[in-house]
Structure 1
Amino acid sequence: MTSLREIDGADAAAVRDALPAALDGSSPLALGFEPSAEDVVPAGTAVVIATSGSSGIPKRVVLSAAALRASAEATVPRLGSGQWMLALPAAYIAGVQVLARSLLAGYEPVLLAGRFTVNSFVDATERMRDDVHRFTSFVPAQLATLLDAAESRPEVRDALASYRAILVGGQALPEQQRMRAAAAGARIVRTYGSSETAGGCVYDGIPLDGVRLVEVDGEIRIGGLMLADGYLGDAERSEQVFVTAPDGARWYRTGDAGTIGDDGRLSITGRIDNVIVSGGINVSLDRVERIVRGVPGLEQAVVVGMPDERWGEASVIFLAAGVGDVEEMFEQARALVSAEIGPHARPAQLEVSPELPTLASGKPDREALRRMARD
């Protein structure tokens, strides 16, 4: 067993400098939390990443050096090799993998100066090498910010188009946003994965080499060398989430509902537990949100559940302050949801906030939004 070394995940340069020893399995890192003397990990561990995700449940995911390497190396046959620019928090798995991929390719990763802004992205892109492929990784909100700026700033459009691939994960990418990105010349790769799978392991619906997918009772499970060892200090949860099949294969239970096509393509339909009961009928909030985001102006909207006197539970749309006729957008959303799912699934309210709460990873803080809806 090995002790952990704490690294300030907000200091991207510190994580970058410590990562080579972590990838060798000789000096495991604690990212996002302060380890105690009792926090020891198996030999060969690279990082332990603290994450609560959108559920608000704290977890500390134990990833071996072999898992990180397997994930980073599986990206190369799909995308190619080159230099990466870090635009995400270095304490989160997507940020760690950006650094790992660049280092394993033998190129110095380019770090964003300060917080993510349009200008910091352009400046970082200008510091990228011209003689190798360029790559980076965003969450949808970051991409949306750049696409808005690209409409009036040619340098932003040129910077986006200079990347061989821009990975976008963390949450579903609205189709309208994908189309806008394509029109701007940005080559987008939609990724699916989590800290438990050492980051994105399914690109545009197709698993990377060495990644196995299976659907069990409507839930997607993932297998492969990139799986985490489990959760630090939580054997019970580890046994519930990481299961071993009768043939000895190890699987990660994602908690996501989905299907796998005959061509092996994965389609996620939502979280198994992200369901409300409205008028006695189960309603997937993920499905409602996808429909709502099809309305122009609501591409970044977030849908959560709330108590409702009439229906028992209902959904509410949260939207950051922007432009457009809010009432008209709300009525369009209700009509689309009613047509596709039924009147019981129509959102009951649309709330506009100056700024939606987010996690450090850039994902919407759904637990904070649920509290806002209840209040």
Structure 2
Amino acid sequence: MRTGTSVAARGVVPGLTALDGEPSAQSIVPRIVEVARALEGEVVAGDGRERLTGGALLQRAALVRDAVLAAQPQGRPVAVLRGHDAGALVGVVGVLAAGVPLVVLDPTTPAARLRHYVEAAGATICVTDAEHAGTARLLAPTVLEPESAGRPLPDPVAAAESLLGSPAGPGDTAVIVYTSGSTGAPKGVACDHRSILHDAWVNSLASDCYGPGDVVVHLLPMAFSAGIGVTLACLLTGARQELFDPRSRSVAELHEWMREVGATVLLASPAILRGLLAALRPGATIEGLRSLTMAGETVHGAELAAIRRAVGPGCSLRNRYGSTETWLMAEQRIEAGDPLPTGATPVGRAVPGLRIDVEDEHGRLHEQGTGRVVVTGRWLGNSYWGAPERTAEVFRDNPDGTRTFRTSDVGRLSDCGTLRLLGRTDDSVKVRGLLVEPGEVDALLFAQPDVREAIVVGRTSPRTGRTSLVAHVVPEPGARLTATGIRALVRANLPSHMVPEQVVFLGALPRTERGKLDRSALPEVPDVVGTKGPRNDFDAVLLGLFERVLEMPSLGIDTDFFAAGGDSLAAQALVAAIEEELGTSSGQVSTALIAANPTPAQLATALRGDRRRSSSTLVPLRTGGSGTPLFVVAGAGGVAMGLRPLAVRLPDTTVYGLQAHGMENPGLPDWSIPRIAARHVRTLRGVQPHGPYRVAGHSMGGLVALEVAQQLTRAGEEVELLVVLDSFPPDPDIVPRVFAPGEGLVQRVRSVAGLLATGIVPNRDGGHHARFHRQGAVLQRRYRTTPYAGRTVVVVAQDDEDAWARRQWEGHLTGDWVRHELPGGHITFLTEPLVERVAGLLSRELEAVGERRAGTAVRTPEPGAPPHPAE
């Protein structure tokens, strides 16, 4: 690890001695008083509303100390409940100066949880302010508001003397910090004065991270070890801390705010850094930082590269590893010119005063290898408050005066002492008898440009007892990821037993109150792997095709294709595989047939019976719902089954998909939108003879749905809802051209010939889909219609490059209509995880239609109105 002594270049405080890294006979308060007196007229903390000088800190903290001692002279722990502001620092210093243990409470935590902390600590007093006094009265019998009592402030000299009047010993408990409880009930970690002083030295001066003259961006809640550690380290070193609460303020404001306060040091979790980078304008950089520290979860190489581009070469990057029980343990420092790591970034080498080993399954310690991470040092003075038995389980006092702590982390220690974390001891699982560290799969997924976040966990089926891996993936906006693609990626890079059996796409990973990944809040996933074996050779062949397409071994013939992660693209691949392997005739198997028969057993029965659908344009997507069904038209070149992710998220609604004639069966296509619509009208009236009707369409399917609504209305039927999903309006001046302006004669002839072959000769690369897509582009430029007067909902994918054109429905809709804009691209907003937003919006619209029919008053948005902010 690199160290430096460049603090002097940034500023030395006259009369202030350097912080001692050997705090054998020291405690916190005298050092804080020394720093505050040296900076009496200087700002030591700011929060956007007030600027706190060293002198004001002394004066106001003295009021808190006196109030605590007057209310409780017996030395029990005292809680502080304040916001993330300068006033919280006053409360922290005042309680510590009273010579009692401090418990900092986070006001964003539910009161029931806070009451548990207060009761477990044995605290009966809570120091607070007027804003939080109501909550404080729910937590403790005695509530103090020292700064609201109107007492006069002492002068700084008298205040300093008062703060030094109740000295605590170096080995006394200074702070009780409660852990997140991710591995059980929250535990109170009692941290003594020596351990805090040593950690402040390691965090700041020993690692040349910050010191006098630096402006430290403080984003971390003080109720947690990382937050109170920064608070105390700045007070102990003379660095100015600027407090910004990302839970109450938008991270989009952070960049400009950092510029305004002159930030030189940023300490942040990777999650906050992702938000900061996402909020930057294209090409913008973060100026002025000389040090950026990341901690709290794994940072991957691709993220590190983006961070480096944003902060420039003059900023040191630090990846740190610590815990509530030990404070900072290791640091990986990366300077300009240093190669960026691939995969998960190491957490580096042990900080001064600590030794890191790994423990094998027999309890033996090793200086290199893989195992449980164990740390040893002189300043591990912490323990679990009021729990000596629990303390003895993980802490050990050694004959040489050092102390050892066994973490719950699993890591790989190189021969040069660099540590990489692989996961936690309770995350490791055995799959098919082989030990798997899910963190290795996380690292691979994180390295993919289309993956924003990922976490892989082991899951044991309560039905079969099998253990398998489940990957929870957050795609980048606009990325079109599939479960089969994720599994294929892992299979190409890792052993087969490390391939996730299930892939769940999420909009964001769940996090705890302190911003850490919350594995306990990950969604439950059902069993998807069937247990029944093939009944005959035909079943066995078909089952093998399912396994190959889904990239999953050991399926059963009762495995549901879609529950196992199959989507429309995978279904098309399965159709192609069946035609190739089983020699079925064109049209005998289709994605529609798979939708109706999603298990190998059901599909085998359908194929052996040579079933053919009576209407190849109609695909049941969700059956069994009550009330009026919804008919959804697929876009040009799209199969109806591609709309299944939307359909299955519409509760209690029967949904039918409609697709082009000739798409999946032999047949000539319809060559105008009115003709396509007329065919669909005949088809849907075969299912629902009379209205009211509900129709929707995606892309060109939105224009077809519009024409369906027009034809039904002219026939005297009621259409109570039309939904247009990211479609161009019927305006040839807006719809893109079919043929490129620079296309030569030969190319134009080939294009026209290919167009005329739509539905007859499959395209070599895209089957019928590519030809139907091009045909749709021609048809929508030729389509005209009169303005539609019925209730219409227009949904626009706001991240698509043609979003501006797909917004232009004014003048084409003269009735009650509304426009909503949702995240995603033209295709991706209807796929995981963004489709959840579309489904939620559509569910509300369907519910509103039902309420209108029942005579219930509902709010009707203004025509063309933008979406409600919550949408």
- Bin of the TM-score, shorter chain as denominator length: 0.7 to 0.9
Q: Aligned partners of 1:93, 1:255: CA distance in 2, in Å?
A: 17
Of 319, 324, 342, the residue aligned with 1:195 is 324
Query: Does structure 1 residue 8 correspond to structure 2 residue 163?
Result: no
**Which structure is richer in relative contact order (CA contacts within 8 A, separation 6 or more)?**
1
CA drift at 1:108 = 3.3
1:25 touches 1:46 (CA, 8 Å); kept in 2? no
Which whole-Å CA distance do the structure 1 matches of 2:95 and 2:318 have between them? 27
4-13 vs 59-68, which moves further: 4-13
> Would the aligned equivalents of 2:441 and 2:498 in 1 still touch at CA under 8 Å?
yes
* 2:193 counterpart letter in structure 1: A
- Give the Å deviation of 1:265: 2.0
2:459 is the counterpart of 1:316: no
User: Is residue 2:418 matched to residue 1:288?
Assistant: no
**CA shift in 2, pair 1:20/1:175, >3 Å:** same
Q: 1:35 is matched with which residue? A: 118
Q: Is the 8 A contact 1:206 1:265 kept in 2?
A: yes
Deviation at 1:247, TM superposition (A): 4.3
Aligned pair partner of 2:389 in 226, 229, 236: 236
Q: Deviations over 1:181-219 (max 9, x none)?
A: 112225421000111112x33111022221221222222
Q: What root-mean-square deviation, in Å, do the aligned CA atoms of Structure 1 and Structure 2 show?
A: 2.8
CA distance in 2, matches of 1:37, 1:142: 31
CA distance in 2 between counterparts of 1:295 and 1:19 reads 43
Maintained 8 Å contact 1:291/1:333: no
**Structure-1 separation of matches of 2:262 and 2:448:** 39
Give the secondary-structure state (helix, strand or coil) at the position aligned to 1:35. helix
- Cα shift readout 1:264-290 (whole Å, capped 9, x = no counterpart): 222222222211222222211122211
Which residue of structure 2 aligns with residue 122 of structure 1? Answer: 255
Match of 1:210 in 2: 353
Return closer, same or farther for 1:80/1:10 CA change in 2, 3 Å cut-off.
closer
Q: Compare 62-71 and 52-61 and name the one that shifted more.
A: 52-61
Size of the alignment, in residue pairs? 364
The answer to whether structure 1 residue 135 and structure 2 residue 262 are counterparts is no
- Residue 165 of structure 1 is aligned with which of 268, 280, 291? 291
Query: Aligned-pair distance for 1:153?
Result: 6.7
Cα distance change on mapping 1:248 and 1:333 into 2, 3 Å: farther
Mapped partners of 2:435, 2:486: distance in 1 = 19
Using the TM superposition, give the Cα deviation of residue 225 of structure 1 relative to its aligned residue in structure 2, in angstroms.
Answer: 4.4
TM-score using structure 2 length: 0.39
The residue number in structure 1 matching 2:206 is 77
Q: 1:1-375 alignment to 2 at 5 Å?
A: 2-8=75-81, 10-21=83-94, 26-32=99-105, 33=114, 34-36=117-119, 39=122, 44-75=172-203, 76-78=205-207, 79-81=209-211, 82-112=214-244, 115-129=248-262, 134-152=264-282, 154=284, 157-158=285-286, 161-185=287-311, 187=315, 188-198=317-327, 200-204=328-332, 205-217=348-360, 218-245=371-398, 247-308=400-461, 312-320=466-474, 322-327=477-482, 330-369=483-522, 372-373=524-525
Q: Determine the C-alpha separation between the residues in 1 that align with 2:352 and 2:98.
A: 23
2:326–2:382 contact (8 Å) kept in structure 1: no
Indicate the SS of the match to 2:517. Answer: coil
Counterpart CA distance in 2 for 1:171 and 1:148 is: 18
Equivalent pair of 2:455/2:471 in contact (CA under 8 Å): yes
Whole-angstrom distance in 2 between the partners of 1:164 and 1:93: 24
The answer (yes or no) to whether the contact 1:84–1:101 under 8 Å persists in 2 is: no
Determine which structure has the larger strand proportion and give its number: 1
* 1:196 alignment partner, SS class: coil
Query: Cα 1:84–1:162, aligned 2, differ >3 Å: closer, same or farther?
Result: same
Q: Deviations over 1:27-60 (max 9, x none)?
A: 4211344423973899622211112253343111
Change (3 A) 1:234 1:216: same
| CA–CA distance in structure 1, aligned partners of residues 516 and 491 of structure 2 | 27
AA partner of residue 141 (structure 1): A
Q: Equivalent residue of 1:54, what SS? A: coil
Stretches of structure 1 that go unaligned for 5 or more consecutive residues are: none
How many angstroms apart in 2 are the aligned matches of 1:8 and 1:102?
A: 20
User: What displacement does 1:113 show?
Assistant: 5.1
Aligned in 2, Cα 1:239/1:116: closer, same or farther, shift over 3 Å? Answer: farther
**What is the SS of the residue equivalent to 1:286?**
helix
- Of the structure 1 ranges 292-301 and 244-253, higher mean CA displacement relative to structure 2 is found in 244-253
| 1:326 alignment partner AA | L
> Secondary structure of 2:302's match?
helix
Structure 1 residues 44 and 374: alpha-carbon distance in aligned structure 2, compared to 1, 3 A threshold? farther
Question: In 2, are the aligned partners of 1:61 and 1:232 still within 8 Å (CA)?
Answer: yes
Scaled by the length of structure 1, what TM-score is found? 0.86
Q: Quick one: structure 1 residues 101 and 127, their matched pair in 2 at CA, closer, same or farther if it must change by over 3 Å?
A: farther
User: Structure 1 residues 332 and 65, CA, compared in 2 at 3 Å: closer, same or farther?
Assistant: farther
Gaps of 5+ in 2: 1-73, 106-113, 124-167, 333-347, 361-370, 528-871
